[in-house]
Chain A
């Protein structure tokens, strides 16, 4: 059974700092990995999707990497802003499955 773990559970950084969020998964047989942002009491906003054949994806200040063989992904946020404060979720889609399996998330606070 696929398990997804995100470390750290919470992170507080001063504005302007670059940061890395980590995600690990137990089964490397995946179709893709998705990073989401969730604001309190709100839905999930998709940030980046990395296919199993890709090593990284970039969108603006965000860069996500994938090392499928070691079961790891990182989300790099450059020049953090207070508006980046949210919970970031990592989710993987296992090969042969329809479902996404989620980690518990990293709660990010960017202090002005």
Chain B
């Protein structure tokens, strides 16, 4: 069964450094998402991406964040200058259809900012 994959599974970085989290969505999906979950808290939406542009973003997704689909298979989340409060599990998700389809989630990348 097709699945969303994410790399790395765990990333440790120093405050102020740039990190790139990578995702490979399911191959015939058109809509891509990033969510995050701070330890002990709810899963929160960051951004959705369709047709090579951001379709929706949350208040969390400020100028420090960016997303890109650099080729036909990868979808990346970049954090330009990491802060301690960026430490969280980051999930990528994808879906075929915007409104009616199941969102399939990857296993997540645990980001630790020291």
Q: With a CB–CB cut-off of 8 A, which chain A residues contact B42?
A: 102-105
Q: Is the interface of B mostly helix, strand, loop or mixed?
A: strand
Output the least CB separation between B52 and chain A (Å). 15
B48 with A43: CB separation less than 8 A? no
Within 8 Å by CB of A99, from B48, B102, B106, B110, lies B48
Q: Is B99 an interface residue (CB 8 A)?
A: yes
In the bound complex, residues from chain B placing their C-beta under 8 Å from that of A51 are 100
CA A104 – CA B40 in complex, angstroms? Answer: 9
Q: B102–A49 contact, CB under 8 A?
A: yes
State whether A97 touches B100 (Cβ < 8 A).
Answer: no
Interface size on B, residues (CB 8 A): 27
Q: Is the interface of A mostly helix, strand, loop or mixed?
A: strand
Question: Count the A residues whose beta carbon is within 8 Å of the partner chain — how many?
Answer: 25
Q: CB distance B58 to A98 under 8 Å?
A: no
Q: Nearest 9 CB-CB pairs, A to B? A: A99-B45, A98-B48, A43-B107, A44-B105, A102-B43, A98-B56, A31-B99, A49-B102, A43-B108
Residues of B at the A interface (CB closer than 8 Å) are 31, 33, 35, 41-45, 48, 50, 55-56, 58, 89, 91, 98-108, 110
